[in-house]
Each structure stands twice: as C-alpha cells, then as structure tokens.
Structure 1
Amino acid sequence: MVMKQFVLLCVFGMPLILRAQTPYRPSPDDIAAAYRRAAHIDSAVRGTVLHLNIHPHWAPDSRSFWYKDYGKDSIASYVNVEVNTGTRQVGAAEPKGNFVDNTNFHQTPSRWEDPEVDTVSPDGKWKVVVHDGNLGLMPTAPTPAPPAPAPAPPGANTTWAARVLTQDGTDAEPYGAWSWSPDSRFLVAYHIHPAETKKVSYILTSLPGTTRGVVKSREYLQPGDSMTTYRMRVFGVQEGSAADVENGLIDFFGPPRLHWQQRSNALFTFEKVERGHQRFRILEADARTGQSRALIDEQTKTFIYENRIYTHYIPSTGEIIWSSEKDGWYHLYLVDGLKGMIKNVITPGNWVVRDVDSIDEKKREVWFRASGMNEGEDPYNIHYYRIGFDGRHLVSLTPAKANHQLSYSPDRSVYIDTYSTVDQPPVFELHRTADGSKIADVGAADIQAYLATGIKLPVPFVAKARDGQTDIYGIACFPADLDPQRKYPVIENIYAGPQDAFVPKSFMPYSEMISLAQLGFIVVQMDGMGTANRSKAFHDVCWRNLEDAGFPDRIAWIKALAAKYPFVDTSRVGVYGTSAGGQNALGALLFHPDFYKAAVAACGCHDNRVDKQWWNEQWMGYPVGDWYAEQSNVTNAWRLQGNLLLIVGEADENVPPESTYRVVDQLIKHDKYFDLLVVPGMGHSDGGPYGRKKKRDFFVKHLLGVDPPDRNRS
C-alpha cells in the first residue's frame, strides 16, 4: 500500500497547495531519462559561472595588480586595477612589466630537525665525523693541538678523530642527528636506538608485460608498533664535557628542532610530544649540565591535536607564542620563556583560531584566521584578523558574513578579499590593511547562465545535535526537477575524520553531490560531533570513539531536514564515503541499520589497528586498548543489515587493502550478502569514474527500487 502525506508548505519561496505526497519511485523509462538529464546538466553547467575567481599578480610597489578574467565562452581578458582609486582597465593583452604572483600561502614550520645538516661548526673550526656508530671531531684546518681526550678503554680505536666524543655507539645503535650551538661551544647529538618498521604489501595483478602478479612492499607503522628512540646528549667542545639531557629521551617522532637562547648560548629549548598525544612540553635545557625545566607542560585526559600545535619563538625577548585548547577553545597564548609562565591569552573567547598567517615581532601583532567569532553566522566561516600580543586592538579585516580568502599585496598595505557561501557566488573587494576599510568593489561572479540550466544551489541547513542544544551545520542538494509532492530518498556524503571539518563553505557551482541529486535524491552532508573546528568538547566526542562518527547528530539533522521539507524521505536513507568516510559508511549499516539502508564504502580504514599509526593513535589513543577491536568494522561485520557495496583499489598505499579484505572475509563467514569492486592498479580512491558509476547505479537500485540502465547494451 502506498502511504500518502498531505502537506502545505513553502518550497524555494513558492507556496504549495494541499495535495497528496507519494514516494518517488521512477519507472525504468523515468530513470533512463533521469540519467540522460543528469548527464546533460553535468555538461550544460560547464563554463556557465563567469568571473569565478581572481588570481592577482601584484606590482612590486603594491600600487596595482592585474588578473586574468574569464567571461562568456571562456573568452579571457586582462584586468588591471589601480590600488589608490580602485580604477579598473580591461584589455585583451597581458600587462607588461614585473609582477609578483603572491598567493600568501602559509605553512606552519616543522617542529622536527633535519638530521645531520650542520656537520661543520658555525665558527668553521670543527667537522663532525662518524666511525662505527660513534661521533668525533676533526679540525677543518691546521690548529693548535686540542686538549687531550679522556683515556679510551683498552682496545678502543681513537685514531679516526682528533677528539672522540662517544664510545658506546655501534653500527646497529649509532649516534647521529646532531646540531651545533650558535657559538660552536656545544654539540647536541642523539644516541639512536632503531626499531624495525614492519612492512605491508599488496599485489599488482594486471601489469602489462607479465603473466604474474607483482608483490609491492613498503614500511608502514601501525598503531602500537615500536618506534625508533633518540637519547639526547650534549657535548662541550671546549670543556670536554658530556651529559644526557634530562627529559631528552625522544620516543615519538624524530629529533626536535632546537632553539638556542640569546641570553645564554648554553641554554636551548625543544618541544616534546608524548606518544599517546596527551602531553606536550616545551623544555629548556642547560648544555653545561644537561638539566632541564618545563616552560610549558600541557596534559589532557583526552588528546592534544599534535598537528595543530603552533609555536613561535621570539629570541629578542625570550617570549613564545603557543596555541592550546586548554580552556576549551583553540587559542593563542603569550608565554614568558624566561619565567616559564603564561603572560596572557592573545585571542580570548568562545571561538576558534584556525591558522596564523604571520607574526610581526616589531609591532607585536599576530595576523590570524578564525571562525565562530560573529553571532548569527555559520561558525565555520573563516575570517581574517589582526591583534596585539597583549590581546588588545583586535582588527577585523573581513566583516561580510561569508567564508573569506585574502590575497595581500607584497607590502601588505592592501588586500583582495574574496568571499562567498555555498549558495552565494564570490565577491571580490579591495581593502586597506591598516583599518580594513574598503577601497573599491573589484568584481563578482555571474551565475545567471548557470541558474538558467535549472540547477538548484545547495541549501545550507542547521539543526540541533544529540544534546538538543548544539547546532550542527550542513548542506542539502536537491534535484533540478524536484516535485515537492513527491518524497525523495536521502543519500549522505559522509566523512567523519576528526582531523578537520568537511562541509563546503565557499561557493560550490558543481560537485558529485549536485550531480547525484539529479537522479532523484536529496544528497546531504553535515559535520557531526567529533569533527574539528568547534569547541574542544565538540571535538572530544571522537576520543577512543571513532565508531560514533557523529551518527546521533547526523540522524537528528536529517530528521530535522525532513520536518522542514516533507519531500525528504527518511525511510530510504543511503550513505557513501571514502577512506575514513568508507569506515563511517559501513559503520552506518553496522551500528545504525534502523536508519541507514544502503551504503557504498570506498577504501575504508575499517579497522583502526590496520591503518596508519600517526592518525589512529591521535584519536584512538596509545597503548592500543580493547576499544580498537570493539569498534572495528571487521569485528562487527556480523551485524550487517541493508545493502552494501565495498570498493577498494588493490594498490592502496594509504590504507592497506587488507582493511577491506578482512571485512569481506568476515562477511562471507557470517553468510552476509554484499557487492565488492576491486580496481586493479588503483590506489587510495573512491573507485574513480567506474566506481562512481557503480555507486550511482547501486543507490538507484536499492533506494529508488528500479534497475539502472543496462550499461552493457550498445
């Protein structure tokens, strides 16, 4: 019996009369037409968004810039803009003269040393040499005889260096990864205790020119594996001293970058992240004695997000700018490195610093990006700011309620502000950096031809999370020919990896989600609890809990969407994802089969014990506990309900293919039916064009209840 629902609602600004609502179930002819219509739209929208972006080329004096602008039929013109007046001149030829391609790309510097990069001492007098795993020094030029080294034990070979520093190294456990003090008085080096890195393998089955599969192997750390350790030691070149550095055993990552202090060439700081991601320290060590003290010692019961730790050292004052979520939000702090104490929070408030663009030590200012500062706006939208080290004189450079990207002039006196949302095309403005004031409107994207195709822009939507209080943000994509009197199945695009947030915030003229919707689906995406860029409490939901994947929030969000738009059918919900999203997609059928009915899971990290060490220990913790197995899709494969398509590339070097194969093994052993696509030669992927076709056909069959067109017919 077909269930009917009577509705009166307003959709896309148009009121609808009261009519019966029935599920959308196309006939074979209907779905064939839908495929043709989707293919037509895929093609028709190409090139219909005009003036979509600006890639500026700045004059070295920052007085002007030019960019290449694409209009109708992809005809290019060149636009030159005078900064003082905002005057635009359009021409057919590229402007002449010297220009700077300034992308303002920011990358946080590494906190880890490049080993053995400074063999010769800064004063040029000594060179580090290695023999049988031990360190020695040789003069770079004839010099007066150095002080006699300490007596060597009987049988020791001391002829290979003018001064022997170590005698307990071996070829198996050598010394290495050294670093000189700026005044050449001290050498810091590490006694290295290597751990064997185990390998993973895969088989290339279809290589041309051979009838045999080829096995490929590579080193691959998995959670719980042993890691190489580095024991930090410091050697006094003049004093002939040697000492272990207190707290200098590095058993996670590699040797840290050393920061020698200006007030004393015998003092240096280094950073130490404990394995398990629950403790981070900045330690100051005395090269004369090896003693150390903690300037910063952050500990947490959940995790410290190591990849987002930001530190900036100011040698002239001994200060450190340091990031932390210790007060519940990701913020910047000014630390007195001399006293080992926090002087003040630089960026206070219930919002999130997203990145640091630059530090102006002379003006004592931080230029940074943040989100969530503005009331009544999507808290993921990125805005740009400037603030003093003391947390005062905040300057907002991007007032518009949108997602922003700035391009500064070479002297940073002006900038181009490009902003948009998923349903509002980009706008380009020229602003003064001093106070953020607007100089001129540079341009805006033109989407009239795009909208003329009949396509619908993604719709932002907000609903409450599992707690009934926290807002969950997402988007929904509707078919171009949507009939509000029908009820359409839902397909969720899922990626719940805790390392970031994933819902698009900038203008999205086309995507797989929009294309898939044209077949007769409501395609949605949202960021549930456990993902990043919100509060620490929001993020902490993922801790030792990747099985959760924010599903209670996602389900509540989709139900709220259906409450607003009755043409959303929550009785037919599918889900797809890749990598961590593949893990999540299968998890939907294992742990929430009452809601999700079909899933396509591509190259999923289905067992966190099989996947890469650095990613999984960050969120699941170390040592490896029972919760790893308890939350594994492999362990829980017996729970499968609903329709499942697994996709894996046989040459995946990100997530080992056996992560999927072990799920397959358990599904077969428990007599579960499913579909499997193995793509020969393919790496970490959603299956490529063929896999995406399979995905479409799979959802058409299992959510719309009709066979897709026969692709084998000519």
Structure 2
Amino acid sequence: MKLTKHLLLFCFLTTLFSTGQNKEISLEEIWDGTFRTERMDALHSMKNGQQYSVLNFDRESGTTTIDVYDYKTLEKVKTLVNSSNIEAITYFTDYTFSNDENQILLATDVESIFRRSSLGKYYIFDTKTNQVTLVAEDKIQEPTFSPDGKKIAYGYNNNLFVKDLNSGKTTQITFDGEKNKIINGITDWVYEEEFGFVRAFEWNADSDKIAFIRFDETNVPEFSMDVYGSELYPTKDTFKYPKAGETNAIVSLHLYNLKNDKASEIKVNKDYNDFYIPRIKWTNNPDVLSAHYLNRHQNELDLWMINAENSSAKLALEERDKAYVDVTDDLTFLKDNSFIWTSEKDGYNHIYHYSNEGELLNQVTKGNWEVTSYYGYDEKNNKIFYQSTENGSINRDVYSVKINGRDKERLTKSEGNNRASFSADFSYFINSFSSASTPPEYTLNDSKSGNLIKSIKDNDQLSEKLLDYKTSKKEFSTIHINGNDLNMWMIKPANFDESKQYPLFMYQYSGPGSQSVSNSWGGANDYWYQYLAQKGYIVVCVDGRGTGYKGAEFKKVTQKELGKYEVEDQIEAARKLGKLPYIDETRIGIWGWSYGGFMSSNALFKGNDVFKMAIAVAPVTSWRFYDSVYTERYMTTPQENPSGYDENSPLSHVDKLQGDFLLIHGTADDNVHVQNTMRMVEALIQANKQFEWMIYPDKNHGIYGGNTRLHLFTKMSNFIDDTLGDKRDMTKENKDEKVKIKG
C-alpha cells in the first residue's frame, strides 16, 4: 500500500515537472501554516513494550487527549485522559507517567521563563480512579514523581518542596532560596542555556533521598533589560548573567534524606577551585550517586561515585582534552552498575563500556564517524542501539551492536535523517525519517532487522501540495576549501539557465559542533530559500571548519580563535563559487543568526572584496559580551586570551565595511544581548559607515510572535532585492567584462 502510494506520487511528480509548476511560494504562506508538517507529539513507550501513548490535540474543540496505541496493529487501544472530561483543565500541553504508569502528571497554563525553563500549574491524574489532584496552588517548576510514585518533588521560589500524594502534605526541604541570590534544585541561567537542563535534583531508586545542586549567584553580575510593553512606563527584567571572565555562581552538591528530614552538603576529595557540576545521576544502588565535575576551562571532566550513607566519594573516570570535553547525556548504569559512556577521546564520538569501578571493559563502537545518539541497552539480547553518521556526515542511521562491539547491524534503510524511538522492551522502534526531498514520515520497525512493519504517519499531502509550487532541488556536494572537503548544499532557480548569471546568497551558522548542511527536511528557512530561488537567486550553505560530525580535530581547530578559520572558509568558498560561470561574483551576499550573525558581519568586513552585502540577526559582536560557560569552553577567559577575543571581533573591523549591511536584534534577547548590536552601531557610526538596522521591541533571541517573523523576513527579502537584485541578463560571454554596480 505504501509503495503503491509513493509510486503514484512519483508519477504525479513526473507529470507536474513535465507540465511545469505554476504557483510561487509567498512569504505569508511560509508562516501561516500552509506548509505545516504532521508529527507525533510526546510519544511514550508503555512499560509492557507492546503499546505506546501519544499526546493528541484537537484544534476544533481545543481539547487534549492521551491516546494509547498497539505497536503491532497501530490501532488505538484506549484514551487514557481527555481534557474535556476534566472540569479543572481545558487542555494540557505535556504529560509524564509515574514509574508504574498508574498516575499521570499533566502540565497546564505553562509560561516560559527562558529557553528551556517554565512555570506551570500541574495536575495528577489517577488512571484507576480518574481523580484529578492539583499539585500546588502556585505555578511551580519541574515537578517529578518519586520512583515509587508516592511523592512529587518540585521547585518554587528557588526552594525545593516534596508533596506526599497519600496524605496530601507538602514539605519544604530548602529554605534559603532567594531571587538573584540562591537557587536550590533548579539551574541558573547559564547552566540552563549551555548545559541544557533545568531540573537540578534527582530521586534515588528507593525514593528516600533527593540529591540536588545549589547555586549561590550572589556575586554574579546582573544584567537588566528594558521591557517596553504597553503601559506608560517601561519595566526592567533583571537576572544574573555571568559574562566571559566574570564571576560564576558557586555550586555545591547536597543531599536531602526523607527518613530524617535532614539536608547535608556532599564534598568530593579533590580541591576544585572554580568548577561546574553539569550532571548528577543516581546509580541503580540507591545509596550511590554519580556526579560530573568539570573545571572552568572545561578540559578536565571527572566522574565521581558518591556513597550517600557515609558521604565518601571515589573518582571513577577522568576525561582530558587539550581543547574541551563535551558533557555527555549518555551515562547509563546497567544492572551490575557497570556503565555506558560516550566520549570522543579517540578523535570521534563513540560508545564505551566501563566497570562499576571505572575500568574500561570495551570500546563498543570504532571508526572515523560519530555516534550522534545513544538509545539504550537491551539487556535480554545484549544489544546497544544508537544513531550515527557512518553513512556520511550529513546522514543519520540507526544501528544495533552487541555490547562487546560485534554483530553490528544497520537497521534503517533510507538515506537521510533517521531517528528512533524504541519500545520499552526494545522489540520495536518508531522511526522518524526525513530527507531534503522527503518530509517527515513515521514508521513502525522491527528492532532485530529494522524491517518495516507498518506506516504510522506521513506527510504525503504536503508533498502533493508542494508539487503545485515552483520548487528546486537541494543539491548536496563538497567544496574543497583551505585543504578540506567541506559539506555544501545549493539551491538553484527552478528555471535555471547555465548560460545566465545569478546573484549568490549564502547562509551559515558555523558554531562549534553545529551542522547546517544536513540531508533532512527543513523548516521555514528552507521555504524562504525556495522563495529566493523563485526570484532568481542561487542559495548556498557551506559547513566550514569548526562545525560538527567530522571528528574532534575538524571541530576543535577553532579553539581560542572563534571567527578566524570559519570566516576564512566562508570568504574562500564565496570566492571559489564566484568563479563559476553561472554566478555573478559582483553580487554575493551572506546572512546568519546568532553565531551566524557574528560570522556574516566578519565575512562582510574581512571579505570586503568578495561580499557585497550581509545580514546579521541577533549577532554576537564581541565574545566579551557573551556568557562564561559557552565562551570560555572555546576561548578560555578574556584575561587569558585577549587577542583571541578582540582580533576576530567584528567591532575591530568595522573600518573595512564597503558593502551593504543590515543589523537586526530583539530588545528582550536574554541570550545574545542587544548590547552587542548597540556596540556595533556605535562603532559603525564612529567609523562613518552607513548601514541599515532594525530593532524588534520586547522580542527575545528567536524574534517571533504575531506577525514578527513575517515582518522580519519581508525586511530581509527587500534588503536582498535592493542590494543584490540586478535586472541585467548576464551571460558567460560577457562575464569578464562585468563591472561592479552598487545595487
């Protein structure tokens, strides 16, 4: 059935291409939901391994359900929760099961704090009695079931609380929490943003101890943002933000014992001066806690095993690197408390198996490719499941391998981006697949062979809709620049004529370990590139040195020199592409957002003989303005590396500006502060350089909400037309005679 449908779609596609596509993508369609993809939200594999649950939202009624499906048949078995049947809840946006799946935590009225953190009202739904219980009257953070399902711990006003679900009694377990001073069990701004987690507390297996991290940010400098709003007077949002080289929060590890209602500080027997605790995790032994300790330079990572009964600590593992060590989320304790760990210590990210004492038992995966996701260990079949780039750095495939490293098997068949969600017993996996030409599709697969069992959901309707539009293929290739074969994609106009010449518009992000050239379905930006191609632009993206998934050496070459090698690669790529007969080398532009804005600014200034224009959205203009954890990981501190910070800062090169420059920023950007753009504006003014800029009031780093994105991309599209647009019909023959004309 699936093959027949795809065959019909292919025939339809062939017919349309032969007759011509007529419709053009509009900017309004990109952001009004016209090209929305179907997806599977909040999938949870049930403990029985034969069923899974999905969060479903009915747009017409505005209600939410948690529906349970059978893996084998894909038929809906039952609806566990329906918000229309709960008087207290109109709808909910997320859910979490207790370990025994008898209770479900429902998230409602959720409001964002920063990128990952939020406040919300939470209810407990009892699947046996259908009773609903409010966890707390106030909005709280990170409520988490104890393993036995009898309690919930949560954060409120920088303190931790535990609610007994049998008695209904709530106990406050920390008392010194205070805004902008002390935080218990919830991360501060920089941990949330750069270490990627919010909940800094963990239950042990017996549900009688809670380990948590305490943040003393009393001496961390404050950053304030004006919030303009709609009232007569603006307000201020003030929060602690440690910039590079400034004071970090003092972190400490603590343990609360529910048996005697006492909290104590845990110390390891190593004298750390300035350090981070980026991860804590209990082992299967309810009295043994693991904790990651990371020095401020982030090139020394220690894994400690801490005995909660006597507070003794043993160093189990040390990771060292000349540049930095990435914090891993893949630490998994097996039944014997041996553990799985991922590391790039051999030059590529791979899976390792260690004893409970920290002795290396085996390097499970090896090769000049990266493990990109670790899915878990199937104890019954002694198999590890993972995702990797073995089939090319722009692709992702799912594999299985024995824990001894033998009998590796590729489980996914289609070339592109494959991502698995395994059943609890590892007998099935739901594969989420997409490629640059195939929107997301979800299939049920057998975990032993990877063979397709059934199709669950696809986006064939979107594919058919897009056949009516003038779209172009995203062409993948490599370009040899500065001694490296760099991944690249190119989008040409649908009516491309190689006897003509086209303006070139480049996109990049280029941050350490990132990837923008990926064989996966794109989002709104890709539709915008199609929109630009319709207007006669060639759009290109090149992943230069410093980006990810090609080994540690390639990624870490930019250490202490952010903005040097990556910018050199973009300039040289543009210069080389400009020599192609169908590209007009006098009309080359570049854009980027965040790190990409830092890059596009530098590319225009340093590459003023190559780039005619650049757009920088929410750019870092000096790494001195950015946070300590991210910046020092790659640059050390400004005190130690002043030249690295200043020589590659766009602020140091504004005098070189010759082309057209558009700066864009949101005033409520808590991540890359608008201070970056204001300093750039002042530097340009004092250098007597003309430029364009756009400020979005009260918009954060994402610059969205209402018509904001439409306005933003209309602004950028008009700027591209004004600076790169040219009505001349240039051919190969007259390329050598072309002259630079100001757009």
Q: Could you give the per-residue CA deviations for residues 415-443 of structure 1, whole angstroms, max 9, x where no partner exists?
A: 44443421355666543222223446777
Question: 1:486, CA displacement in angstroms?
Answer: 1.6
Structure 2 counterpart of 1:167? none
Structure 1 counterpart of 2:437? 423
Structure 1 counterpart of 2:720? 699
Cα 1:395–1:67 shift into 2, 3 Å? farther
Cα 1:284–1:623 shift into 2, 3 Å? farther
Letter of the 2:78 counterpart: N
Distance 1:287 1:303 in 2: 30
Is residue 2:509 matched to residue 1:495? Answer: yes
Distance 2:368 2:511 in 1: 23
* Aligned counterpart for 2:536 among listed residues 504, 512, 520: 520
- The 8 Å contact of residues 425 and 444 in structure 1, kept in 2 or not, is answered as yes
Letter of the 1:356 counterpart: Y
Cα 1:438–1:593 shift into 2, 3 Å? same
Tell me the SS of whatever aligns to 2:517.
Answer: coil
Which residues in structure 2 correspond to 1:91-490 (within 5 Å)?
97-98=77-78, 195-205=218-228, 207-210=229-232, 212-230=233-251, 245-247=268-270, 249=272, 251-254=274-277, 257=280, 259=282, 262=285, 269-285=290-306, 292-306=313-327, 308-314=328-334, 316-338=335-357, 340-371=358-389, 373-374=390-391, 378-408=392-422, 412-424=426-438, 430-439=444-453, 445=460, 447=463, 450-467=466-483, 470-490=484-504
- The 8 Å contact of residues 30 and 528 in structure 2, kept in 1 or not, is answered as no
Question: 1:449, CA displacement in angstroms?
Answer: 5.2
Q: Could you give the per-residue CA deviations for residues 119-169 of structure 1, whole angstroms, max 9, x where no partner exists?
A: x9x9x9xxxxxxxxxxxxxxxxxxxxxxxxxxxxxxxxxxxxxxxxxxxxx
Tell me the SS of whatever aligns to 1:435.
Answer: coil
Gaps of 5+ in 2: 1-13, 15-21, 57-67, 82-93, 97-115, 117-139, 151-179, 186-200, 729-743
Question: 1:541, CA displacement in angstroms?
Answer: 2.1
- The 8 Å contact of residues 231 and 248 in structure 1, kept in 2 or not, is answered as no
Task: Compute the RMSD of aligned alpha carbons.
Answer: 4.9
Tell me the SS of whatever aligns to 1:600.
Answer: strand
Q: Could you give the per-residue CA deviations for residues 52-84 of structure 1, whole angstroms, max 9, x where no partner exists?
A: 76789999884999999xxxxxxxxxxx99977
Distance 1:402 1:673 in 2: 44
Distance 1:703 1:398 in 2: 43
Cα 1:576–1:37 shift into 2, 3 Å? farther
Distance 1:235 1:452 in 2: 61
Structure 2 counterpart of 1:554? 570
Structure 1 counterpart of 2:687? 670
Q: Could you give the per-residue CA deviations for residues 579-636 of structure 1, whole angstroms, max 9, x where no partner exists?
A: 1111111111122222222011111111111122222222222464211122222233
Structure 2 counterpart of 1:132? none
Question: 1:477, CA displacement in angstroms?
Answer: 1.8
Distance 1:247 1:342 in 2: 22
Cα 1:208–1:221 shift into 2, 3 Å? same
Cα 1:246–1:683 shift into 2, 3 Å? same
Question: 1:249, CA displacement in angstroms?
Answer: 4.5
Q: Which moved more, 1:361-370 or 1:581-590?
A: 361-370
Question: 1:387, CA displacement in angstroms?
Answer: 1.7
Q: Could you give the per-residue CA deviations for residues 664-689 of structure 1, whole angstroms, max 9, x where no partner exists?
A: 11111111111121222322246632
**TM-score with structure 2 length normalisation?**
0.67
Letter of the 1:332 counterpart: I
Question: 1:309, CA displacement in angstroms?
Answer: 5.0
Structure 1 counterpart of 2:651? 634
Distance 1:175 1:429 in 2: 43
- The 8 Å contact of residues 289 and 307 in structure 2, kept in 1 or not, is answered as yes
Q: Could you give the per-residue CA deviations for residues 13-36 of structure 1, whole angstroms, max 9, x where no partner exists?
A: 9xxxxxxxxxxxxxxxxxxxxxx9
State the percentage of identical aligned residues. Answer: 23
Question: 1:409, CA displacement in angstroms?
Answer: 5.3
Q: Could you give the per-residue CA deviations for residues 360-381 of structure 1, whole angstroms, max 9, x where no partner exists?
A: 345433221111x13xxx4221
Question: 1:660, CA displacement in angstroms?
Answer: 0.6
- The 8 Å contact of residues 464 and 556 in structure 1, kept in 2 or not, is answered as no
Structure 2 counterpart of 1:77? none
Structure 1 counterpart of 2:701? 684
Question: 1:653, CA displacement in angstroms?
Answer: 1.7
- The 8 Å contact of residues 305 and 313 in structure 2, kept in 1 or not, is answered as yes
**Structure with the greater relative contact order (CA < 8 A, sep ≥ 6): 1 or 2?**
1
Structure 2 counterpart of 1:580? 595
- The 8 Å contact of residues 529 and 538 in structure 1, kept in 2 or not, is answered as yes
Question: 1:222, CA displacement in angstroms?
Answer: 1.0
Q: Could you give the per-residue CA deviations for residues 427-473 of structure 1, whole angstroms, max 9, x where no partner exists?
A: 66543222223446777836455334332222223222321xx4322
Question: 1:181, CA displacement in angstroms?
Answer: 8.8
Cα 1:643–1:190 shift into 2, 3 Å? closer
Tell me the SS of whatever aligns to 2:622.
Answer: coil
Larger radius of gyration: 1
Structure 2 counterpart of 1:142? none
Q: Could you give the per-residue CA deviations for residues 391-433 of structure 1, whole angstroms, max 9, x where no partner exists?
A: 1222221032222233555654334444342135566654322
Letter of the 1:701 counterpart: D
- The 8 Å contact of residues 364 and 388 in structure 1, kept in 2 or not, is answered as yes
Distance 1:38 1:175 in 2: 52
Structure 2 counterpart of 1:163? none
Cα 1:401–1:352 shift into 2, 3 Å? same
Question: 1:518, CA displacement in angstroms?
Answer: 2.1
- The 8 Å contact of residues 472 and 557 in structure 1, kept in 2 or not, is answered as no
Count how many residue pairs are aligned between Structure 1 and Structure 2. Answer: 584
Letter of the 1:672 counterpart: K
Cα 1:498–1:228 shift into 2, 3 Å? same
Letter of the 2:532 counterpart: L
Tell me the SS of whatever aligns to 2:230.
Answer: coil
Letter of the 2:715 counterpart: K
- The 8 Å contact of residues 278 and 302 in structure 1, kept in 2 or not, is answered as yes
Letter of the 1:357 counterpart: Y
Cα 1:183–1:441 shift into 2, 3 Å? closer
Distance 2:471 2:348 in 1: 39
Q: Which moved more, 1:321-330 or 1:627-636?
A: 627-636
**TM-score with structure 1 length normalisation?**
0.69
Q: Could you give the per-residue CA deviations for residues 529-562 of structure 1, whole angstroms, max 9, x where no partner exists?
A: 1012221011112312221362333345455556
Distance 1:415 1:466 in 2: 42
Structure 1 counterpart of 2:605? 590
